[in-house]
Amino acid sequence: MKKLLLIVIFCSNLIFGQNILSFSNDQYSGINGSLFSPTTSYFNPNKWDVNIISEDILLTNDYAYISDQNIIGLLKGETKTANLKAGIRGETHSNILDFTTKNSVSYHLENDILGPSISFKKKINNQTFRLGFFSRLRTQGSIKDLDNYFRFSNQKELEPRNYTFEPNKTNAMNWGEFGLNLSTNLHTTNTSELIIGTNIKYLLGLDGAYVKNKSAIKLEAIPTSTSTISNPDADIYASGFDIEAGYSTNYDFDRDQYILRNRGNGIGIDLGVSFVNRRINDELYDFKFSANLLDIGLVKFKGENHHFYNPSQKIQIRNNPNLDGVQFESIDQYLRLLSKEIYGNEIQSKTENNFSIGLPTSLHLNLSKKIIENHYLNFNLIQRMPIFENSLKRVNVLQTSYTIQKDGFGIGPSLSIYDYENVTLGGYVRIGPLILGSDNAIPILFKQKKLTSANFYFGLKLYPFWDSEAKRRSREPCECE
């Protein structure tokens, strides 16, 4: 089941894409770009724009990979899992789902669907305002430097007699956003503008979970009475644990279906400020610098909190007759079984009925400079800054792109560095209402020795892409005699 899930995640990268950072530098991105900077929609030369649908999915991991494959090749559905007994490994065969032998592993998943959204420009008392409304569905989860104890079972190797599972924590959340985007010029001269913007968001919590392993867990392999320590089926015991966990979900395990309900509420806000230089009466700027603080807020969930702490207790996690062969039907059932193993009481681990998960707060800096007419060189930095309890963590990004921005057409190749170590090439193209692109395009077309991540962007917008600067000027009121 674990391997099947990984294949599904890999395949989803081909179907969906990312509201890529390079596209947010396009002044015609409008309400889509306001997700990265609340002031972006202000620079849209068009009076209005509408997003019909766009999707963002980003997966990076260093635990599982598919050998000698690209994303398009996954459509053939010929991927097989490694089989050590048959000598089939990712290192020796193509199109094999296999696992790394690293001591610690990490993964990061972001999914962002921007639903029906609109932005339009309005002048009030000679001051320009940009107002927008957006709907959004987001999913995020990550873990950093998890002790890779799984490598023993993946490689069919013997667990060591004694092993220390280091402390770690992870969380995930699925939530909706209904937001207001507002931006305006705070100060204007003939050659420059200072613009401020904000996104104010109501947060609807759908699913959330977190796990905190607060202390090192001691794992011990003890041979059974009929085996030796070389027996891979030796009993495994855990001790020294101090684990806090909480969850809330809309999945109904009794009916085996997802039922949409409100599991939590919250408020979020994005703040942004931009300074631009532009020529008099020119719609497009010569230079822009913006600073943005994104995703300040949290969701308070109605759910269950559990605490598993009993320093004198040793729990058998392999060959345990109370756990082996049990048909697990829900998360609650599993937590009750653990509580009974640790405390002798299946409800003693439950401590509270609510918890909170913080949004993936981050700092976004953007610099954009016109090179020649309609050509721009752009630089972006996104640095995660978690500030709340159980905060999600956005991936760090350092990116440069070169964009050509015209009415009805835009294009921009990009170079990105994720978490300051993974270098990717990508870009986007905008043709009328259609936007296609990727910030990690190489794995889509070209086979990778170890395929671990990729993304593809798709967006569909409505805006007057048939318009032009000359047409817009001709419609402006003439102040001459």
State the DSSP string of 345-383. Answer: -TTTTEEEEEEEEE---EEEEEEEEEEETTEEEEEEEEE
Domain containing residue 99: 2-475
Note the pLDDT of residue 312.
Answer: 82
Q: How confident is the model at residue 466 (pLDDT cuts 50, 70, 90)?
A: low
Note the pLDDT of residue 215.
Answer: 92
Burial of 107: CB neighbours in 10 Å, binned 0-12, 13-18, 19+: buried
- Mean of per-residue pLDDT scores for the chain: 87
Each residue of 361-378: pLDDT tens digit? 999 999 999 999 999 999
Q: How confident is the model at residue 433 (pLDDT cuts 50, 70, 90)?
A: very high
Mean of pLDDT values over 196-204: 98
- Are 132 and 84 in contact by the 8 Å Cβ rule? The answer is no
Percent of the chain residues past pLDDT 70, beyond the cut = 90
Q: How confident is the model at residue 163 (pLDDT cuts 50, 70, 90)?
A: very high
Q: Which of 15-29, 140-154, 271-285, 412-426 has the lowest mean pLDDT?
A: 15-29
- Are 132 and 181 in contact by the 8 Å Cβ rule? The answer is yes
Q: How confident is the model at residue 7 (pLDDT cuts 50, 70, 90)?
A: very low
Widest distance between CA atoms in the chain: 105
Percent of the chain residues past pLDDT 90, beyond the cut = 54
- Confidence check: pLDDT of 380 > 90: yes
Note the pLDDT of residue 229.
Answer: 46
- Confidence check: pLDDT of 231 > 90: no
- Are 431 and 409 in contact by the 8 Å Cβ rule? The answer is yes
Distance CA 480, CA 473 (A): 14
Mean of pLDDT values over 454-480: 67
Burial of 38: CB neighbours in 10 Å, binned 0-12, 13-18, 19+: buried
Position with higher pLDDT, 244 vs 311: 244
- Confidence check: pLDDT of 47 > 60: yes
Distance CA 309, CA 313 (A): 9
User: Do the domain assignments include residue 330?
Assistant: yes
Distance CA 455, CA 423 (A): 14
Note the pLDDT of residue 88.
Answer: 87
Specify which of 70-84, 220-234, 338-352 reaches the highest per-range mean pLDDT. 338-352
Each residue of 288-300: pLDDT tens digit? 999 999 999 999 9
User: Do the domain assignments include residue 331?
Assistant: yes
Note the pLDDT of residue 225.
Answer: 62
- Confidence check: pLDDT of 10 > 50: no
- Strand, helix or coil for residue 193: strand
Distance CA 215, CA 307 (A): 13
Each residue of 100-118: pLDDT tens digit? 888 898 888 888 999 999 9
- Confidence check: pLDDT of 174 > 80: yes
Note the pLDDT of residue 16.
Answer: 33
If one counts the domains in the chain, the total is 1
Note the pLDDT of residue 477.
Answer: 54
Note the pLDDT of residue 366.
Answer: 97
Which residue, among 406, 460, 457, has the nearest Cα to 433 in the 3D structure? 460
Position with higher pLDDT, 86 vs 54: 54
- H or E element in which residue 389 lies: none
Note the pLDDT of residue 19.
Answer: 46
User: Do the domain assignments include residue 481?
Assistant: no
User: Do the domain assignments include residue 60?
Assistant: yes
Q: How confident is the model at residue 280 (pLDDT cuts 50, 70, 90)?
A: low
